[in-house]
Structure 1
Amino acid sequence: MKQKIYMNRELSWLKFNERVLAEAQNPQVPLCERLSFASIYQSNLDEFFMVRVGTLVDQLLIDREIRENKTKMTSQEQLDAIIPEVKRLNRKKDTIYEDLMEKLEHYGMKLVNFQKISKKESEYLRKYFKAEIAPLISPTIIAKRQPFPFLKNKEIYAVAVLETKNGKERLAIIPCGSGVFPRLIKIPGKDAYMLSEEIILHYVPRVFKGYHVKSKCLIRVTRNADIDADALYDEDLDYRDFMEDLIKKRRKLAPIRLEYTREMDGESIETICGYLHLSTDYVFHSRSPLDLSFVDGIRDCLRGESELFYERRVPQKSPQFKDHKSIIKQIEKKDKLLSYPYESMRPFLNLLREAAEDEDVVSIKMTLYRVAKQSQIAAALIEAADNGKEVTILMELKARFDEENNIRWSRRLEDAGCRVIYGLDGYKVHSKLCLITRKTKGGIRCITQIGTGNYNEKTSRLYTDLSLMTADEGIAEDAANVFQALSMGETVQESEHLLVAPNCLQNRILDMIDEEINYAKAGEEAYIGLKMNSLTDKKIMEKLIEASCAGVKIDMIVRGICCLIPGVKGKTENITVRSIVGRFLEHSRIYIFGAKGREKVYIASADFMTRNTLRRVEVAAPVYDPDLKLQIIEMFITMLSDNQKAKEEDSEGNYKRPENQDTPLNSQEFFYQQAYDQAMERKNL
């Protein structure tokens, strides 16, 4: 039987989410952090259904014979494979959750139900329900004059089958997520809590007096969020108004999944699905709560128990910058690199603040994709505009699920006098690019910053990312061309130093892979090292297979989706794939081409996905400084040696702990300790 070399994208993503769930089960992870990983698994799955499953269902409406280009599976075949796998993973999640909650009882934290409390406590909850919850809920009984209500995306509802005195059945629904009462209800006199939806469900008979409650359960609907903004955009509309309307539409899209707890007879479930116009294939039973976001409240209650949490880590000062000296002058003297979250973002923030006040600075141009709600970066840009600088911002309003925040900031930036551009037709602007232009006595001088992650102070403490700052004139010229093209609603057609999608990134990557193939064919050592979030671009994968067959050694660190299966004899046997899932979200993208002594090193905003390489504006920057180049290569080698948080993909597409069981190495903890040690050395100088 011919061995597969490609894996379906959606099934590969589910394997990634299983690696997230594995951290919830990992006894080496502190207990409250394990609970967070269970919650992350669930929120990841929500988005997977809203976007990816939603896309597949939409494809069925268009053409049932559409096939994806790697495994040639139809949309229906993909859905048929996804559903049983999700059910398997959810059963695993339920077991892990129950185990975690049982362990938390040793720390005095109990989440109880009505079978686990005394009569006195039950009486307290009855009074609490009557006084604090009942006045705020809006129960509905479905009838001819009372149609089935709209169920909000991801909100929890109590559902009951009611029987009238004459034997007729009615369906009743109570929303459980008003936001007015807390989700975690404290039971007086003990360290125990109950979820508000459990209280509502228990007192359903008190809400619907005069009816016999035949059965009841909690349900949660997930709605399709897959909207193609560019396909719907009317150019006669204000783009911000259009995006706001799009967000409202997303909230009302068709249901894509129904989850429920407790036991409800199949006929009632079918009735609910009928109202939702949803196939029963997309119904999932859960033993654990339908929304695990309440675990943040549990974490807050247990903050005093330090062993339940990761050791506190704080981003450190970068040894590359000197205090109380001009950031601009330091960058002009030598390129700088920040590594988040191990090093603080402060030097970059200080760069923007200095640029806002520097009399020589004439303009700041920047792309913004996901901005923090309380953004110091946006505040610095507003200050620059107030000081008379020309500030041009490419604000990507199509950053999925961050649109509202971006819209709000775009208005504030515009009101401050910034020129705000709202992306391009047909392309998302996903690049992380900043260009500061100064007019000095010596002529025009520029500082260019290129990053792998968003300009977001919050995520810079949670995601691993790299930020390069350089005074290189060639890079600045390419960056200026990128911004000029964006200002004209166009994309860059060619560039010398930067790799810029959609027109000059994928083709340049293929050329550099070809260079390594030629070295290998000439009998010389050839090497490619790649780190990214996802790998789905078939054209690049085909070229990597060709390189492997030619004898090029290829090491890849791919956190999430990886559609290329390594280690397949005669095809990908020279390729290794690892995924690191740990305390911090691996987000940096690194491309290394060339064996030792001739390496070309890039950092980038782009994964090797077709959407990134051909349908977005992305930027990869060369690292020319020898010290920084070596630093990135050493980081990459360290991550390849991780044997604690890394999983290695085998030739069957399964992920396992690496066989290298030498000295335990958690690369993320290694980098943080390194940052602390360097900060201490600097302090002692």
Structure 2
Amino acid sequence: MEEKRYPFTQNREISWLRFNQRVLEEASDPRVPLLERLKFLAIFTSNLDEFFMVRCGSLYDQMLFGPDQADAKSGMTPKEQLQAIYREARKLYAMRDAVYRDVNKTLQALYLANVSRKNMSRKQQKSLQQEFEHKILPLLSPQIIDAHHPFPHLINKEQYIFCELQLNNGKKRFGIIPVPSFLDRVIPVPDTRDDYMLVEQLILQHVDKVFPKSRVVFKTIIRVTRNADINLNDKDIDEDEDYRQYMKKILKKRSRLSAIRLEMYKYTNPEAVSYLCSHLHIEPEQVFVSRVPLELKHLFQVVGSAPSSRTAPLLYQPFTPETTTQLDPEKPLIPQIADHDVLLFYPYQDIDLFLKLLKEASWDKNVVSIKITIYRLADNSKVVDYLVQAAENGKEVLALMELRARFDESNNIRMAERLENAGCTVIYGFENYKVHSKICLITYQSHGQIRTITQIGTGNYNEKTSRQYTDLSLMTGDPVIGQDAIAFFQNMQISNLSGSYKKLLTSPRQLKHAVMGKIDRQIELAKAGKPSRIML
């Protein structure tokens, strides 16, 4: 029977997999510095994890509750989309295996590789065996699965050693060993420069010592990816419960959601697959075998911990953002921005000027308030530090914190609590909408008048990612934009999505209509033979 063909270019999910394939192609490109190729391998894997958790998770939910609802562009049902995703993802796994093998082989010549036992001397093997017996084995919690020891809950993206055992009485049982996440995952190989094994590989190698009274028939490493597409319903919030507490409860549920994907390292057999599929309630098409480590975050650690004298020639030359000539960082910034607008272009220009503006505002005796929207923050955010400082200095600080920033929810909850404890006012946006706007309003007194400095940008108030992603940041003393920003924050506090503004375009009420009107205007000019231009 001929396989049904789909217009993949019209399907969002398959199109995204094509994008991630291009990330993987960067890892395979010999023109890319060797250690940068490692980073692309790690980014590809992280991207794919999130794709399965979110996009496949959403399709999985649709398949359960609306199985016949077809995608408007491709005409595919949720099940058909998932099956197409599984087929395409399997090809990407094979491609990643080949790329990793090629890069790691090159790294072996540089003694900076993930090596196997067969590549080691007897002395090195003995040393790692002692490492396992003295520092790892005492920390393991192995379990034989039987009537008295039921199949455990497998935590999302955590790794487990899974094996089939033949007991002394001749019976066969499955065994499982959680790989402790608190252990250092990268284990240096003795008498090499920077070669290493991974802790899960070392445990897998010595499974027989973990189950000494059984014969190991089969062994592998497994990793489960769970649906992370949590559905938020404000109707579920108790009247006496605030939104932050509700989000904490929802996040606890995420770790228990349905399995979407099972990965197995190198080895598989029909009995193990059947058993795991049965207990995880998945189909064999959701099982993927990888010839490379299932989690590649360690590659950043490998690159970062090796001596710079060795890694520098194998990386892109470091880039240092420039400071803009529009501002003198040695002088107060508020008067300069009040005098002329400043547009920063990250990462080519430094976010430190905006951070300096916040710090200055937190101490300036003329500043009366700072208001800001927050979506994603760095782990040790200077933005939060300066907002806390401003509140402690008696200034009004308002933060509209979007708790639904995917996979940053816990960090945002912690930051919201810190801001509240410092005396800041924290609000959480609207039902059915995420607040993606990036706007910061500084209000100050000057010569008996209220004046404003407004920052509007793309991206996030995140010092780390601002040095990786291209974004724009406008800082202006324009009084009309300042009045719009005042109205914006007032509308946010009273849940008014229909507010009117003179210069700001806000969604979901005004942005599309205004942009379409501007496009129509340029078309009219073009038809009349007059100069016209559209830049997006």
- TM-score bracket for this pair, using the shorter chain length: over 0.9
Q: More deviation in 116-125 or 429-438?
A: 116-125
Q: CA deviation at 1:478?
A: 1.6
1:6-155 equivalence runs, <5 A: 7-155=10-158
Indicate whether 1:390 and 2:399 are aligned. no
Q: CA deviation at 1:438?
A: 1.8
> Does the Cα contact within 8 Å between 1:23 and 1:34 map onto a contact in 2?
yes
Question: Which deviations, in whole Å up to 9, do the C-alpha atoms of 1:135-176 show, x marking residues without a partner?
Answer: 101111110111101111111111111123444221111111
* Number of matched pairs: 527
SS of 2:414 mapped into structure 1 = helix
Q: Which position in structure 2 is the counterpart of 1:595?
A: none
1:368-447 equivalence runs, <5 A: 368-441=374-447, 443-447=449-453
Q: CA deviation at 1:82?
A: 0.9
Q: More deviation in 102-111 or 333-342?
A: 102-111
Identity of counterpart residues, as a percentage? Answer: 46
For 1:166 and 1:412, locate their aligned partners in 2 and report how far apart those are by CA, in whole Å.
58
For 1:230 and 1:449, locate their aligned partners in 2 and report how far apart those are by CA, in whole Å.
32
Q: CA deviation at 1:460?
A: 1.4
State the TM-score, normalizing by the size of structure 1: 0.74
Q: More deviation in 153-162 or 518-527?
A: 518-527
- Counterpart AA for 1:262: K
Q: Which position in structure 2 is the counterpart of 1:663?
A: none
Q: Which position in structure 2 is the counterpart of 1:190?
A: 192
SS of 1:489 mapped into structure 2 = coil
Indicate whether 1:247 and 2:251 are aligned. yes
SS of 2:534 mapped into structure 1 = strand
SS of 1:499 mapped into structure 2 = coil
Indicate whether 1:324 and 2:330 are aligned. yes
Change (3 A) 1:111 1:244: same
For 1:349 and 1:184, locate their aligned partners in 2 and report how far apart those are by CA, in whole Å.
35
Of 146, 164, 169 in structure 2, the residue corresponding to residue 161 of structure 1 is 164
Question: Which deviations, in whole Å up to 9, do the C-alpha atoms of 1:6-40 show, x marking residues without a partner?
Answer: 62111111111111111111222211111000000
Change (3 A) 1:412 1:215: same
Change (3 A) 1:302 1:68: farther
- Counterpart AA for 1:301: A
Q: Which position in structure 1 is the counterpart of 2:227?
A: 224
Q: More deviation in 234-243 or 466-475?
A: 234-243
Indicate whether 1:484 and 2:490 are aligned. yes
State the TM-score, normalizing by the size of structure 2: 0.94
SS of 2:454 mapped into structure 1 = strand
> Does the Cα contact within 8 Å between 2:9 and 2:15 map onto a contact in 1?
no
Q: CA deviation at 1:283?
A: 0.6
> Does the Cα contact within 8 Å between 1:495 and 1:504 map onto a contact in 2?
no
> Does the Cα contact within 8 Å between 1:446 and 1:473 map onto a contact in 2?
yes
Q: CA deviation at 1:485?
A: 0.9
Structure 1 stretches lacking a partner, 5+ long: 530-590, 592-685
Q: CA deviation at 1:52?
A: 0.3
Q: Which position in structure 1 is the counterpart of 2:242?
A: 238
For 1:195 and 1:99, locate their aligned partners in 2 and report how far apart those are by CA, in whole Å.
18
> Does the Cα contact within 8 Å between 1:438 and 1:444 map onto a contact in 2?
yes
For 1:267 and 1:4, locate their aligned partners in 2 and report how far apart those are by CA, in whole Å.
36
Question: Which deviations, in whole Å up to 9, do the C-alpha atoms of 1:210-257 show, x marking residues without a partner?
Answer: 222111111110011000223564142222222122221111211110
- Counterpart AA for 1:265: N
Q: Which position in structure 2 is the counterpart of 1:273?
A: 277
> Does the Cα contact within 8 Å between 1:6 and 1:70 map onto a contact in 2?
no
Q: CA deviation at 1:125?
A: 2.1
> Does the Cα contact within 8 Å between 1:494 and 1:503 map onto a contact in 2?
no
> Does the Cα contact within 8 Å between 2:368 and 2:444 map onto a contact in 1?
yes
- Counterpart AA for 1:73: M
- Counterpart AA for 1:256: I
Question: Which deviations, in whole Å up to 9, do the C-alpha atoms of 1:631-650 show, x marking residues without a partner?
Answer: xxxxxxxxxxxxxxxxxxxx
For 1:472 and 1:313, locate their aligned partners in 2 and report how far apart those are by CA, in whole Å.
33
> Does the Cα contact within 8 Å between 2:154 and 2:224 map onto a contact in 1?
yes
Q: Which position in structure 1 is the counterpart of 2:3?
A: none
> Does the Cα contact within 8 Å between 1:256 and 1:278 map onto a contact in 2?
yes
Indicate whether 1:504 and 2:506 are aligned. no
Q: CA deviation at 1:521?
A: 4.0
1:223-622 equivalence runs, <5 A: 223-230=226-233, 233-236=236-239, 237-299=241-303, 300-305=305-310, 306-441=312-447, 443-523=449-529, 526-529=532-535, 591=536
For 2:129 and 2:20, locate their aligned partners in 1 and report how far apart those are by CA, in whole Å.
39
SS of 2:442 mapped into structure 1 = strand
Of 178, 181, 197 in structure 2, the residue corresponding to residue 179 of structure 1 is 181
> Does the Cα contact within 8 Å between 1:447 and 1:470 map onto a contact in 2?
yes
Q: Which position in structure 2 is the counterpart of 1:637?
A: none
For 1:60 and 1:232, locate their aligned partners in 2 and report how far apart those are by CA, in whole Å.
24
Q: CA deviation at 1:377?
A: 1.3
